[in-house]
Amino acid sequence: MLKEILEMAKAIKGDWLEADEMLGNSFSQEKIDKLWELIDTYKNYEFRKNKMGNLYVLFEKNNNEYINIGFVNLRDARVIGNKLGYKNLMEEIGVGVLKEKRKQGLAKWMYKTLVKHNISIMGDKEQYDNNRKLWISLSKDMDVDIIDIGSLKIIDKKVILKPDIGYNVDDRIWGSKYDNTYDNIRVVLY
C-alpha cells in the first residue's frame, strides 16, 4: 500500500476522471464554425482548435451535430523550446478521451496530428496511467526526448520509454519517490 501511495506522487494511478465531465456535449454546426478552426479530419471525426486559445478538441460529426469526444489542452512553452531547440513547444495541461471512445487510438492520433502541424508537445509533471501509456506508445514510432526544464538540458534524445510493470515506472522521468526529484524532468514529442 505504501508503495502505491508513493508511486502516485508523480505517476498517478487511474484516469483523470474530470475529463469525462467535460466531454460528450453536443454542438451545432453554426457554433462549431464560429468558435473552432478545423485542423484535420479522421474517419467521422474533426480535430479543431479553439480560435481564442490552445485548446484542441476532437468532435464526432453526425449530420450537423458535433459531439466533443476528446481534447488536448496546451500552454505556451516556447521560451523553454527555443532554448533547447524545439520549435513551437507547448506543454500539455490536460488530455482526455470520452470513456466509451478510449482504446481506439484517438489520443495518439491527436498528438501525432499536433506534431504534423508543427507543434512540439512537452508532458506535464503529473501523468496518469493512460497518459504514461500514451507517451510510451508514442515513443515507439515518433521522436521523444527527455529534458530537464530546471537546468534547460536535454537528458536523452529519441528514446523509447520503458513500459510500466506493476509499480516500476520509467524512473528517468516518472519517479517512484515522494519528493520533488522529477518535477523538472519532462518528455517532449516532436
Q: Which residue type is seen at 135?
A: W
**Residue reference for cell 536535454:** 154
Question: Which amino acid does the sequence have at 164?
Answer: D
- pLDDT recorded at residue 1: 29
Confidence at residue 8, expressed as pLDDT on a 0 to 100 scale: 33
Place of cell 515513443: 139
The reported pTM is: 0.86
Write down the pLDDT at residue 189: 98
Burial 150-189 (b: 16+ CB within 10 A, else e): eeeeeeeeebebeebeeeebbeebbbbeeeeebeebbbbb
**Would you call 134 exposed, middle or buried from its count of C-beta atoms within 10 A (0-12, 13-18, 19+)?**
buried
- The one-digit pLDDT tens for each residue of the chain (190 residues) are 223 322 333 444 444 456 668 899 999 999 999 999 999 999 999 999 999 999 999 999 998 899 999 999 999 999 999 999 999 999 999 999 999 999 999 999 999 999 999 999 999 987 777 888 999 999 999 999 999 999 999 999 999 999 877 666 788 887 666 567 788 999 999 9
Q: What is the pLDDT of residue 36?
A: 96
- Give all domains of the chain, ordered by start, each with its CATH number: 2-189 (3.40.630)
State the number of CA atoms in the 13 A half-sphere of 49 facing the CB.
Answer: 12
Is residue 38 a contact partner of residue 155, using CB atoms and an 8 Å limit? no
Joined grid coordinates for residue 43: 474517419
The shares of helix, strand and coil residues in the chain, as percent rounded to the nearest 5, are: 25, 35, 35
The pairing of beta strand 185-189 with beta strand 120-122: antiparallel
**Regarding beta strands 89-97 and 120-122, do their DSSP bridges make them parallel or antiparallel, or are they unpaired?**
parallel
CA distances from 164 to 15, 109, 134, 171 (A): 15, 21, 11, 10
Residue 52 has what DSSP assignment?
T
